[in-house]
A and B are shown apart, each in its own frame.
Chain A
């Protein structure tokens, strides 16, 4: 993990044909009388990190299981790099890496043995599997624990081992179910960097998580699920054109209020009790407008100490969806 990817590298290459990545249309799946997935359309492009967002029980794990070729949808079609995982699951699996939300570790085996075994199950020969296992253990920082039984691994360490396992077959499509849960902040940053690198190298990365701020930083696009339906797909680089709430903090709330009212900007004011300072929440149409507003406030001599989006982009969409729900 030597290189941090920069924002400009986030731009996905436009691949011709459109046959790559993941495309799922009209997916439905029920378990007995409980329909976990009712109607989901999903697309994840290669070279991008696609976030899967939704409350508990919205069908994220069920969707990932269907994409991972483990669960047969009742209706709908799936294409993984053009392959139908229902008709030809083995061809799909050769290209898939799946990290489940359960840890799934063989406790008596060492991390290295687990990875070599999994490599063998993907048809790698012993020497290749060994080299690959060594590389992956280094990537997920488990080299020191590589030869101790997996039962001594902490939750976060097992999680990293699970990620390494999902990468053993050098998958073109990576499906990660809550990969960040249980990771310490350092490991989260590493995970983010790793996933960005994988996306940059042309892989299709799908990640489900509850930590929306984190997804903000690594996802290129997001699909929102509620009650088994895909309710919105969003690209994060559209952020510049999307109206958002900003919080402006000033040492002098009356001055801020005068300046905003002079500019005809609607705002909600929250004053501090101990001094004249306070916050104003404003709705801004886009990033350009936000910059202009800040410039005008500074020019008007308002003592601004903070000027930032009120919440993460995904969180805002997520919360607005919850508002829309009946």
Chain B
């Protein structure tokens, strides 16, 4: 038996294509994941929980002009995003620290693989794994679709942005994983960073309220005399009011100046990017959305509009009470997230470079 195969021709070093390296790492990772039995159990439990929630929504909503389909669909999106943010860090943050612990990272680093290929492959695998949680909810999305009231232009955008946000969280996890030495630490830090995006933005928004406290001059609304009469049985038109000329000060918050703090929130990014569901005919209420994503989108738009649109009579002038077309917030949010995640991933990639310069104390690279 020969130990060496044919002599390699002089001068031709073997090369590893960039994509083929990523593909090999992806295959290596995904094969390990799909052979994990716990993974299927988790997907099963996940399906049952989401199905129960969506089923209850189907029973309890859909009494008025809204069909339950849109609410069910948005619930699935919100659930997958919420749990995706809980699951994706666990799926991604052990990808490199795990290899470090089992001694396989150095073996991979000793091949022709570049740090970039390694991270792309690991990221792709953890993203696909977290998309698995979206894929198992397809029957539920299909169920929602059967009601026929799902706003079709919005559906692919919601799904796409959801997938993009999961990709962001996974990239964050892989980046932190490359930087950290212990899996537990990497998972924890990733959770904290995801919480910074998900909850931290809300807290920052809430606390900043005090900074944008302002005083506006408002006056009372006056509805036509006949509305007040005892014998009036006609329709009360909410918009048919006039404003008194006597104004008085009212404290309010200039939320339009701090709404950008919410931009990087994953829920805001997903909700804000989707086209708005048009209000049902004959209804010109501001809050036309019953689903969670629509509600978030409305809330953000109202916050962007600021106090002028909340006060029916500002400076003695009647407000038209329709929300102005606000600038979309999600590009800013995605930009902030991309910078944040990109910085961590770049630092992680730097840490994976070999020959290694610095090693944190107490670690062996082999």
Q: Which of A66, A69, A177 has the most CB of B within 10 A?
A: A69
Q: Is the CB of A118 within 8 A of B111?
A: yes
Which of B13, B110, B113 has the largest count of A CB atoms less than 10 A from its CB? B110
Would A123 and B112 be within 8 Å (CB), given that A32-B361, A89-B354, A106-B32 are in contact? Answer: yes
Contacts of A201 on B, CB cut-off 8 Å? 3-4
From B5, B15, B103, give the contact of A132 (CB < 8 A): B5
Binds B, one of A14-22, A93-101, A211-219, A280-288: A93-101
Q: Identify B112's interface contact among A31, A86, A94, CB under 8 A.
A: A94
B1 contacts A by Cβ under 8 Å? yes
A100 touches B107 (CB 8 A): yes
Whether B355 and A109, one on each chain, are in contact in the complex, defined by CB atoms closer than 8 angstroms, is no
CA distance A101 to B364 in the complex (A): 11
Cβ–Cβ contact B104 & A70, under 8 A: no
List residues of chain A with CB within 8 A of the CB of B14: 94, 122-124, 169
Tell me, yes or no, whether B109 is within 8 Å of chain A by CB.
Answer: yes
Bin the interface of chain B by size: 35 or more
Within 8 A of A (CB), among B12-52: 13-17, 20-21, 24-25, 27-28, 31-32, 35-36
Interface hits, B70-88 → A, CB 8 Å: none
Q: How many residues of A contact B (CB 8 A)?
A: 56
Q: Confirm or deny: B357 has a beta carbon within 8 angstroms of a beta carbon on chain A.
A: yes
Number of A-B residue pairs at CB separation under 8 A: 125
Complex CA gap A326/B14 in Å reads 49
Q: How far is the CB of A48 from chain B (nearest CB, A)?
A: 16
On whether the beta carbons of B103 and A103 are closer than 8 Å, the reply is: yes
In the complex, chain A residues 76-119 whose Cβ is within 8 Å of any chain B Cβ: 85-86, 89-91, 93-94, 96, 98, 100-109, 113, 117-118
Alpha-carbon distance A31/B13, docked complex (angstroms): 33
Q: Which of B3, B20, B103, B104 is in CB contact (< 8 Å) with A120?
A: B20
Main secondary structure of the interface of B (DSSP, over half): loop
Task: Find B1's partner among A70, A120, A139 (CB 8 Å cutoff).
Answer: A139
B347 at the interface (CB under 8 A from A): no
Confirm or deny: A252 has a beta carbon within 8 angstroms of a beta carbon on chain B: no
Q: Are B355 and A108 in contact (CB under 8 A)?
A: no
Taking a contact as CB atoms under 8 Å apart, the answer to whether A89 and B13 are in contact is: no
* Measured CA separation A70–B359 after assembly (Å): 11
- The verdict on A71 contacting B356 (CB below 8 Å), with A2-B1, A109-B31, A117-B27 known, is yes
State whether A109 and B32 are in contact (beta carbons under 8 Å apart), knowing that A70-B354, A124-B14 are contacts in the complex.
yes
Contact with A along B349-364 (1 / 0, CB 8 A): 0000011110101001
The answer to whether A198 and B32 touch (CB under 8 A), given A105-B102, A122-B112, A169-B14, is: no
Interface: B346 (CB within 8 A): no
Report chain B residues within 8 Å CB of A91. 13
Is B31 touching A113 in the complex (CB atoms < 8 A)?
yes
Shortest CB-to-CB span from B126 to chain A, Å, is 16
CB pair A70–B3 under 8 Å, yes or no, is no
Provide the bound-state CA to CA distance between A102 and B102, in Å: 8
> A121–B103 contact, CB under 8 A?
no
Distance in angstroms from A39 CB to nearest chain B CB is 19
Q: Which residues of A contact B356 (CB under 8 A)?
A: 70-72
How would residues 62 to 76 of chain A score, 1 for a CB under 8 Å from any chain B CB and 0 otherwise? Answer: 000110111111000
The yes or no answer to B106 lying at the interface (CB within 8 A) is: yes
List chain B residues, Cβ under 8 A from A165. 107
Contact B31 A108 (CB under 8 A): yes
Task: Please list 6 pairs of residues, one from A and one from B, whose beta carbons are closer than 8 Å in the complex, sorted by A's number.
Answer: A70-B356, A93-B111, A108-B36, A109-B31, A122-B16, A122-B111
Pick the 8 closest A-B CB pairs, nearest first: A102-B103, A104-B103, A72-B355, A121-B111, A123-B14, A123-B16, A100-B366, A108-B32
Give A residues with C-beta under 8 Å from B.
1-2, 31-32, 61, 65-66, 68-73, 85-86, 89-91, 93-94, 96, 98, 100-109, 113, 117-118, 120-124, 128, 132, 135, 138-139, 149, 165, 167, 169-170, 177, 194, 197-198, 201, 203
Known: A104-B106, A105-B104, A109-B28; 19 extra A-B contacts, CB below 8 A, are A70-B365, A71-B354, A72-B357, A86-B355, A89-B354, A98-B110, A100-B103, A100-B106, A100-B366, A102-B103, A104-B103, A106-B102, A118-B111, A122-B111, A123-B17, A123-B112, A149-B35, A169-B111, A170-B8
Binding site for A on B (CB under 8 A): 1-5, 8, 13-17, 20-21, 24-25, 27-28, 31-32, 35-36, 102-104, 106-114, 354-357, 359, 361, 364-366
